[in-house]
Amino acid sequence: MSTVFISTRQFASICLFCFMLSFCNGGVLNPSFQIKAVSLGGWLVTEGWIKPSLFDGIPNKDFLDGTALQFKSVTTGKYLCAEDGGGTILVANRTAASDWETFKLWRINERAFNLRVFNKQFMGLDTKGNGVDMVAVSNTPGNSETFEIMRNCDNSCRVRIKAPNGFFLQAKSDVLVTADSQGSSGCGDNDPSVFLMTISGTMQGEFQVTSGYGPEKAPAIMKEHWKTFIVEDDFKFISKNGLNAVRIPVGWWIASHPSPPLPYVGGSLQALDNAFSWAEKYGIKVIIDLHAAPGSQNGWEHSSSRDGSQDWGKTDDNIQQTVDVIDFLTARYAKSLSLYAVELINEPLAPGASLENLTKYYKAGYEAVRRHSSTAYVVVSNRLGTTMEPRELFPLASGMSNLAIDVHYYNVLSDIFNNMTIQQNIVFLLTNRTSQLNYITQSNGPLTFVGEWVAEWEVKGASKGDYQRFAKAQLKVYSKATFGWAYWTLKNVNNHWSLEWMIKNGYIKL
């Protein structure tokens, strides 16, 4: 009898041990530790709207990579257009501008540009023909696809486009655009080499800032930004204000230390090293978040797309390259007590990111993390896009341990919020968001992570009290996420998007 007798106390500790085991092996609901994090957005992956001043010193800074331009001939009043969207001639017979009439810049330096058309070819001289007619046929830009945009008219919207043969483009007729104009002294309505330029889109991501400053200036500018934007004191602040983790967006080039491919700049890895040592010092957990995957998983500036293209996941090589980044980062930080989770990719966008290829990547990325750590959580992101099913990753998750699904819940950036009142916003949170979160928070499913949210909305002129109620309602709903949540973001010139500002000014208390 006595040999099998187990005291209540021993029993309790065995139970505790079992509980800890099951916690460590993950997959269980309601782990005792829940992440209350803030993202360090705009730090190691640039986002111009978070810190516009980072772009101030760029020469000719209206013309960054991805800037979308439209050109209307002053003589005919019609727009330049890549006929069929690209692959054939340039025409100038459109009375309104849309996709085919839009040209996206690739910046070579502050003067020289390639202009990419809708089907991804580059505008250029017809080198197979007379060398003067304009076409959009080349998939790889070279000298014949390199232009200058001259803004030396009094009106900065009036431009001339100088071709590599030294002449200016002109709309000779609706269907004939040639690079054979000498221009004139003025910029008047009778000079067919003058175009009215409209900037219809801009991008301010890591590609734009590094390419904009160029290889001479970018390294110093970026290093100064990394050194000053987030500092040790921020981790102290985080630890003292009810948060227990940081989510740190990184770009794929961080793994190409110390010399990433141009235009990227080395040094973000040291900054991440610093973040880990500060996190350890202040007892803060770290979620590494691959925010910018090679080729861009959503075409946005915050995944470092060059021109709005979304090319991630299209080839096995590209997926392997991404897995290698995860492998590199996990290997480097697996021993840190602060490494809590590795988020394999942020905001993959459907349909460009197919479920099949994303799943392939998630499996390989998960294995890469597990090669170095059996305990770090792996975070997979639900796809964005209107058609996606919120439980589409559940089959993938079923065989994995310590896995969380990241969803982003914003009350901005979608038409449904445009005319919502304060009360409607709050009701939406308490009903719609709650049911969305419930839908993916299943006892046999992965953990759930509201990986981005913000106390901002489309309501104009709301009072501090309104914001407080709104933030509180969100915290109430998101505290039901079994993995936890992360505010977007710690620092931002837009006050409500800065958790630091919100806490310091009494809008949010944790």
Ligand X SMILES: *[C@@H]1O[C@H](CO)[C@@H](O)[C@H](O)[C@H]1NC(C)=O
Per-residue interface string for the shown chain with ligand X, residues 151-180, x marking contact by CB under 6 A: ------------------------x-----
Q: Which of 503, 67, 60, 135 is nearest to 308 (CA)?
A: 67
- Residue 2 interacts with ligand X (CB under 6 A)? no
Q: Which is nearer to ligand X, 313 or 451 (CB)?
A: 313
CB 216 within 8 A of CB 243: no
Shortest CB 474 distance to ligand X, Å:
16
DSSP alpha helices (H): ranges in 334-489?
355-372, 394-397, 422-428, 434-440, 464-478
C-beta of 352: minimal distance to ligand X in Å? 6
Return the range that interacts with ligand X (CB under 6 A); candidates 192-200, 221-229, 369-377, 413-421.
Answer: 413-421
- Per CB under 6 A, the segment of 314-322, 362-370, 401-409, 443-451 that binds ligand X is 314-322
Considering only 15, 16, 157, 416, the residue that binds ligand X (CB under 6 A) is 416
Instruction: Compute the C-alpha angle 391/392/393, nearest 5°.
Output: 90
273 contributes a contact to ligand X by CB under 6 A: no
Q: Judged by CB, which is closer to ligand X: 176, or 334?
A: 176
Please state the closest distance from residue 180 (CB atom) to ligand X, in A: 19
For ligand X, the closer CB: 154 or 415: 415
Which uninterrupted H or E stretch holds 418?
none
Angle between helices 232-240 and 268-282 (to 10 degrees): 40
Smallest distance from the beta carbon of 82 to ligand X, in angstroms?
A: 11
Q: Are 451 and 343 in contact (CB under 8 A)?
A: yes
d(C-alpha 338, C-alpha 282), whole Å = 10
Give the nearer residue to ligand X in terms of CB position, either 49 or 428: 428
What distance in Å separates the CA atoms of residue 415 and residue 425, rounded to the nearest whole number? 13
In angstroms, give the least distance from the CB of 418 to ligand X.
5
Q: Considering only 111-119, 199-207, 219-227, 313-321, which stretch makes contact with ligand X by CB under 6 A?
A: 313-321
Structure tokens at 332: 């480097």
Terminal Cα-to-Cα distance of the chain (whole angstroms)? 52
Instruction: Kindly give, in sequence order, each residue whose CB lies less than 8 Å from that of residue 28, ignoring residues fewer than 6 positions away.
Output: 22
Structure tokens at 1: 């009898």
- Residues between 77 and 106 that touch ligand X (CB under 6 A): 83, 91, 93-94
Please list, in sequence order, all residues whose beta carbon lies within 8 angstroms of the beta carbon of residue 508, skipping any fewer than 6 positions away.
455, 468, 471, 475, 499, 502
How many residues make contact with ligand X (CB under 6 A)? 18
Residue 316 near ligand X by CB under 6 A: yes
419 binds ligand X (CB under 6 A): yes
Closest separation between CB of residue 327 and ligand X, Å? 19
| Residue from 165, 277, 432, 479 in contact with ligand X (CB under 6 A) | 432
Buried b or exposed e, range 188-208, using 16+ CB within 10 angstroms = eeebbbbbbbbeeebbbbbbb
The 326-355 contact track toward ligand X, x by CB under 6 A, reads: ----------------------------x-
Mark the segment that binds ligand X (CB under 6 A) among 32-40, 50-58, 111-119, 427-435.
Answer: 427-435
Of 175 and 231, CB closest to ligand X: 175
Please give the backbone phi and psi of residue 169, each rounded to the nearest 5 degrees, phi first: -70, 145
Helix axes 316-333, 355-372, angle to 10 degrees: 30
| Angle in degrees, CA 51, 55, 309, rounded to 5 | 90
Contacts of 469 (CB under 8 A, 6+ apart): 422, 426
CB closer to ligand X, 419 vs 444: 419
Q: Least separation, in Å, of the C-beta of 199 and ligand X?
A: 23
Stretch of 216-224, 397-405, 412-420, 490-498 contacting ligand X, by CB under 6 A: 412-420
For ligand X, the closer CB: 214 or 390: 390
- 10, 315, 423, 494: residue in contact with ligand X (rule CB under 6 A): 315
Q: What Å distances lie between residue 305 and 66, 323, 352, 424, CA to CA?
A: 8, 19, 14, 35
- Interaction with ligand X in 24-83: which residues (CB under 6 A)? 83
Between CA 208 and CA 231 the distance in angstroms is 24
Phi, psi of 304 (to 5 degrees): 60, 40
Token digits of residue 484: 């936890």
Return the number of the residue (256 or 434) whose C-beta is nearest ligand X: 434
Does 357 contact ligand X by CB under 6 A?
A: yes
In whole angstroms, the minimum distance from the beta carbon of 251 to ligand X comes to 20
Question: Do the beta carbons of residue 478 and residue 210 sit within 8 Å?
Answer: no
Q: Which member of 7, 140, 190, 418 binds ligand X (CB under 6 A)?
A: 418
Footprint of ligand X (CB under 6 A): 83, 91, 93-94, 175, 313-316, 354, 357, 415-416, 418-419, 428, 431-432
